[in-house]
Amino acid sequence: MKYRPTRRTRRYAVGAAAVIVLAGFNGPALYRFSADKYHHYKINRPEYKAKNGHWRVVDVPEDNRINTIHAALLNTGKVLLVAGSGNNAANFAAKSFRSVLWNPEDNTFKNIPTPKDMFCAGHTQLPDGRLLVAGGTQRYEKLEGDVEKAGGLMFVHNENPDKPRTFPAGTRFTGKANGKTFESKDPVLVPRAKKTKNKKTGKVTVTASTARVYVEALHKGEKHQTGTEDNYRIAGLKGKDAQNFYGIAQKLSFDKKDFQGIRDSFEFDPVSERYIPVDPMNEARWYPTLTTLQDGKVLSVSGLDEIGQVVPGKNELYDPKTKKWTYLPKQRFFPTYPALFLTEKGKIFYTGSNAGYGPADKGRTPGLWDVKTNQFDVVPGISDPDALETSMSVLLPPAQDQRYMVLGGGGVGEDPKSTEKTRIVDLHDKNPRFKDGPPLYAKARYPSSVILPDDTVLTTNGSGDYRGRSASNVLRAEIFDPKTNTSRGVADPLVGRNYHSGALLLPDGRVMTFGSDSLFGDKANTKPGKFQQQIDIYSPPYLYRDSRPALSDTERKVVKLGGKATYRTADAAKIRKARLVRPGSFTHVTNIEQRSIEVEFTTTKDDVTITVPKDPSLVPPGWYMLHVLDGEGTPSKAVWLKVPEDEKVPTF
């Protein structure tokens, strides 16, 4: 008997065929849906978190979302997020400068009035817990073709040894030969000329002083540019003043104009939660590095000046007591945002990491710098030496070991080159020399590394090309163990992060990541990128263990170098390590603040007593997070401890 399908069977067959056809059309989408669902299931399993940690998104109210360029952990436990104009020329023109204070403990936010454009400033922790912020943006760059008025550098001369003079913005300079007029865009102070007397002949010699200022033509158009050097008269001057004060300029044209820096400096007070102006730097700086020294003073290095040139080695010191800046007696050149670490012996170690601007063949060699004598001893052996720009540098924990690691990096400027190299050097070696460590998870510029309280280092993100070009963001993270010299992959980050991104350790042992400023938004590099305002938090594997030690005594103590402090704890018998961790201050692949210091301790039944090391270059003055750890390396939540300045410490 021949089988004949019923009407109902035929309907099912037709429906099944339709599903198969639809599945054929939508197979990739269905697969992605299933894969995403499984991935979400996998990363949320307890055993996965215990091995790899876990990421989550921070809920940030719309009014508090900014283009975070800089972030610093304050001793209140709050994080200062700074955008300034946020790499947005429209914000700069509107003088819309932003900072936000975030409390990770209860996830609350507060907008902070921001007096100047701190975009691309430098910052560092001060001994009293304030954050010094110095430099920032005076003018945005203009690429060749976008420059509407001819302009450039004017050297203003003063031949009067008795009279300095300030020329206001808008001062006009007219060429004696070319007859073309330009006006200054900012005020400029010209010091008095230098007068010297020959002891033998009695003859007096006057040497003119000079100052620089950026000038532009009064009108648009190529006819207003110049091609040769000329002497310029200054409008409004008469008599001897007209003879003593004058300008000299080379070519004033439509060439690319780089970003320009400001001198302004501020201390952010974490108690009053506001910026307090202090004396400005002697040099304008955009992309500078600030390093706190063993006596609490701050070294300010490099940056682009008020006319867009790399500051030519004019490094200076800030004294938090006087709020004044003074030049170092001798000069040393570095490219912008150099990674300069205070070492155990009080010298400065330059790892070679930097970000942004400077010639490819100058100031890029790693070495130890004696700030007092200006001697610089090269540390050789670093691999991929032409790929140190946008690399990350860390002082490996514990800080007493004086081992430094350089991770990833790329070629100078917009060079597409990147590297997966990690390089490690031990400054305790008789002849320190870099050696390669385990390779990074991928070739990466802009990786962010954070020292964890269990003596490991978390590194996350980056991109394989300049500013994530060609969709080259790296969605990877790993933890490096300095003791075993090995790395292992952990949970993947949620979003890509490259230029203008960073990461900080929080007091409870979590890590926050912020920012990213991709040049393009697609692989073909045809769509403009969008700034990543999302903030994420990573909880390391140690936060998924059954128990962690705790310090029940959370009093904020002040402990001198070599001094002791006692804390109550019900977990005294479990404590195997104690660490002082300096709060981070991160921008542009640079966080030279972070360091984890091993501290000696003793325990009784109900308390633990720690001893702060005596070396001020190992423990520079300021606030620290104290963590105690059990035998598995599980850290407690931090309590805050202040190490004050020591009057016996030699000053610079």
Residues in the chain: 652
Alpha carbons 461 and 197: distance in angstroms, whole number: 62
Strands of 54-57's sheet in order across: 54-57, 536-539, 511-515, 501-505
Alpha carbons 368 and 350: distance in angstroms, whole number: 6
pLDDT tens digits, one per residue of 332-357 = 999 999 999 999 889 999 999 999 89
pLDDT tens digits, one per residue of 391-413 = 999 999 999 999 999 999 999 99
pLDDT tens digits, one per residue of 248-301 = 999 998 887 789 999 999 999 999 999 999 999 999 999 999 999 999 999 999
Quick one: pLDDT at residue 497? 98
- Give 5's pLDDT tier (boundaries 50, 70, 90): very low
Quick one: pLDDT at residue 551? 97
Complete DSSP assignment for 430-470: SS---EE-SPPSS--BS-EEEE-TTS-EEEE--BSSGGGTT
Rounded to an integer, the average pLDDT of 643-651 is 86
Which residues, in sequence order, are CB contacts of 531 under 8 Å at separation 6+? 67, 86, 87, 88, 500, 515, 516, 517
Alpha carbons 69 and 72: distance in angstroms, whole number: 11
**Which three-class secondary structure state does DSSP give residue 25?**
helix
Rounded to an integer, the average pLDDT of 603-623 is 97
Name the DSSP letter for residue 285: B
pLDDT for 636 beyond 60: yes
Residue 444: name the closest of 460, 456, 423 by CA. Answer: 460
Quick one: pLDDT at residue 647? 82
**Residue that has been written with the tokens 């490690």 in this structure:** 424
User: 525 near 470, Cβ under 8 Å?
Assistant: yes
Quick one: pLDDT at residue 62? 97
State residue 32 phi and psi, 5-degree precision: -60, -40
Alpha carbons 233 and 212: distance in angstroms, whole number: 15
pLDDT for 652 beyond 90: no
State residue 426 phi and psi, 5-degree precision: -110, 110
Domain 64-141+258-544 has CATH 3.30.43.10: no
Query: N- to C-terminal Cα distance for the chain?
Result: 106
Quick one: pLDDT at residue 195? 87
Q: What is the mean pLDDT of the chain?
A: 93
Q: Give the CA radius of gyration of the chain.
A: 29
Alpha carbons 300 and 136: distance in angstroms, whole number: 13
- Cα 177 to the center of its chain, rounded Å: 46
Rounded to an integer, the average pLDDT of 319-325 is 97
Quick one: pLDDT at residue 2? 41
SS (H, E, C) 223-272: HHCCCCCEEEEECCCCHHHHHHEEEEECCCECCCECCEEECCEEEEECCC
Alpha carbons 43 and 52: distance in angstroms, whole number: 9
Alpha carbons 276 and 269: distance in angstroms, whole number: 7
Quick one: pLDDT at residue 28? 67
Quick one: pLDDT at residue 257? 79
pLDDT for 628 beyond 70: yes
Residue 151: name the closest of 303, 307, 260, 286 by CA. Answer: 307
pLDDT tens digits, one per residue of 217-263 = 999 999 999 988 999 999 999 999 999 999 999 999 888 778 999 99
Q: What is the pTM of this model?
A: 0.88
Which residues, in sequence order, are CB contacts of 607 under 8 Å at separation 6+? 553, 566, 567, 568, 569, 572
User: 619 near 642, Cβ under 8 Å?
Assistant: no
pLDDT for 106 beyond 90: yes
pLDDT tens digits, one per residue of 368-392 = 999 999 999 999 999 999 999 999 9
455: left (phi over 0), alpha (psi -120 to 50) or beta: left
Quick one: pLDDT at residue 48? 95
User: 278 near 323, Cβ under 8 Å?
Assistant: yes
What is the percent of the chain where pLDDT is above 90? 84
Quick one: pLDDT at residue 184? 94
Residue 100: name the closest of 86, 118, 82 by CA. Answer: 82
Question: 264: exposed, middle or buried (C-beta count within 10 Å: 0-12, 13-18, 19+)?
Answer: buried
User: 264 near 116, Cβ under 8 Å?
Assistant: yes
Alpha carbons 199 and 642: distance in angstroms, whole number: 55
Which residues, in sequence order, are CB contacts of 80 under 8 Å at separation 6+? 70, 71, 72, 74, 99, 100, 101, 112, 131, 268, 270
> Residue 24 is which amino acid?
G
Q: Where are the beta strands (DSSP E) in 39-107?
A: 54-57, 70-73, 79-84, 98-103
Quick one: pLDDT at residue 18? 44
pLDDT for 10 beyond 80: no
- Cα distances from 273 to residues 61, 62, 125, 614, in angstroms, run 19, 21, 15, 32
Alpha carbons 498 and 324: distance in angstroms, whole number: 35
Residue 202 belongs to what H/E stretch? none
**Residue that has been written with the tokens 């091995």 in this structure:** 51
Alpha carbons 612 and 640: distance in angstroms, whole number: 13
pLDDT for 11 beyond 70: no
Alpha carbons 456 and 480: distance in angstroms, whole number: 6
The pair of structure tokens assigned to 177 is 């030969």
> Residue 211 is which amino acid?
A
Question: 401: exposed, middle or buried (C-beta count within 10 Å: 0-12, 13-18, 19+)?
Answer: middle
- Give 31's pLDDT tier (boundaries 50, 70, 90): low
pLDDT for 171 beyond 80: yes
pLDDT for 527 beyond 70: yes
- Give 13's pLDDT tier (boundaries 50, 70, 90): very low
Alpha carbons 616 and 650: distance in angstroms, whole number: 10
Quick one: pLDDT at residue 626? 98
Rounded to an integer, the average pLDDT of 129-140 is 97
- Give 202's pLDDT tier (boundaries 50, 70, 90): confident
Q: Locate the domains of the chain by residue range.
A: 64-141+258-544, 151-249, 557-643
- Its CATH class, for the domain covering 557-643, is mainly beta
pLDDT for 451 beyond 90: yes
Rounded to an integer, the average pLDDT of 152-178 is 94
Residue 448: name the closest of 495, 509, 391 by CA. Answer: 391
